[in-house]
Amino acid sequence: PILWLVVTSFGVDKGPNLSTFFPKAYTLDHYKALLSPDSVNQFPQWMLNTFIVACFTCVISTLFVLMVAYAMSCMRFKARKPLMNIAIILNLFPGFLSMIAVYFIMKQFGLTGTLTGLIIVYSAGSGMGYLIAKGFFDTVSKSLRESAYLEGANEFTVFWKIILPNAKPIVANTAINAFIAPWVDFIFVSVIMKDNYNNYTVAKGLYTMVDKANIYEYYTVFCAGAVVVAVPIVLLFIRLQKYYVAGVAAGASKG
């Protein structure tokens, strides 16, 4: 399917070509059309929106996950275990089950149809996905923290200057997952953005090209957009692959 998508994006047909696997001729016109906005195609704006949301979500979600994981792994306080159990139970349910409640909450604050609202939706509950990061922090030597406490360091200093520098794999793992989420999500952006066309992300925007009104004019442009969208994620994963694998392995084995 991936190969078919790529070769179709270079084909001369505008609509779906179901007669042959490979196009009869090749062209770059669909990529040129992709970068030339019109009434249906707003790909450059959608790409920019997605990049903005992904960057903010990546930073906020990564901090939330790591801070919660550190608290659950390295600190002891009342209701710690019940809170951990509640988070695990809530994670058993798909996030889109809450989309109606999320929509009305966003509407009350006037955040529907905005990128700010989308960033909040992606970031607010991210701390509940702490389990793998906690498993990694459990492997960090306790003596490092105890030595810092003896030198007068507080919890924030220990977390920021001692734990995080020794936790690059899990930081990379968490950041990659947080960055990818806005690129692939379709449900929440559909609910939050509604008909705010200019604030769509690429997942929602590209879908408009293949609805029944546009599919025979924009299908190969959609394929070109899908290829372009995949490039940043592939490059990011290749660059951080060793940290990603190490983070998953260490977090899962201990957690």
Structure-block tokens of residue 200: 């769509």
| 130-166 per-position pLDDT tens digit | 888 888 888 877 887 888 888 888 888 888 888 888 8
pLDDT for residue 52? 95
For 120-137, the DSSP string reads: HHHHHTGGGG-HHHHHHH
| 22-44 per-position pLDDT tens digit | 888 899 999 999 998 888 889 99
Distance separating alpha carbons of residues 173 and 148, to the nearest angstrom: 26
| 186-200 per-position pLDDT tens digit | 888 988 888 888 899
Indicate the range of 60-69, 146-155, 174-183 predicted with least confidence. 146-155
pLDDT band at 246 (very low <50, low <70, confident <90, very high): low
Backbone φ and ψ of 138, nearest 5°: -65, -25
pLDDT score of 247 more than 70: no
Distance separating alpha carbons of residues 201 and 65, to the nearest angstrom: 24
pLDDT for residue 93? 83
- What secondary structure letter does DSSP report for 11? B
pLDDT for residue 251? 47
pLDDT score of 65 more than 70: yes
Top-confidence residue, 53 or 154:
53
Distance separating alpha carbons of residues 124 and 108, to the nearest angstrom: 16
Let me know: does 225 contact 213? Beta carbons within 8 Å. Answer: no
| 195-238 per-position pLDDT tens digit | 888 899 999 999 988 888 888 888 999 999 999 999 888 888 78
